[in-house]
Amino acid sequence: MLERGRSRGKQRIEALKKQGLVEEEIDADRVRIAFVSLAMMPMLIKEIFEEQMEQPMDEAFLDELAELNGRLFAAGLLPRETEQKEK
């Protein structure tokens, strides 16, 4: 299952590179690890985060977190030329 996810992720990153939507130097394995880290870390120490924030990580909170993570990823994968044009 992990290898299938790895190969599909790599194919997707390569397709996005060909479309000019992802920085050419981006490594698919690093993207996969970063994505898994963003997705899993909050769940691994959920109780600690909830205690620190003094609020539950309920469905609404997790939806907002997922949207933020998606925006972070989208911005972080952009080709550098696109980043410069937007500034």
| Cα–Cα distances in angstroms (integers) from residue 52 to residues 17, 59, 67, in the given order | 39, 18, 21
The count of structural domains within the chain is 1
Query: What is the domain extent for residue 61?
Result: 2-86
* pLDDT tens track for 31-80: 999 988 998 999 999 999 999 999 999 999 999 999 999 999 889 999 98
Task: Specify the pTM.
Answer: 0.74
- CA dist 30 and 24 (Å) reads 13
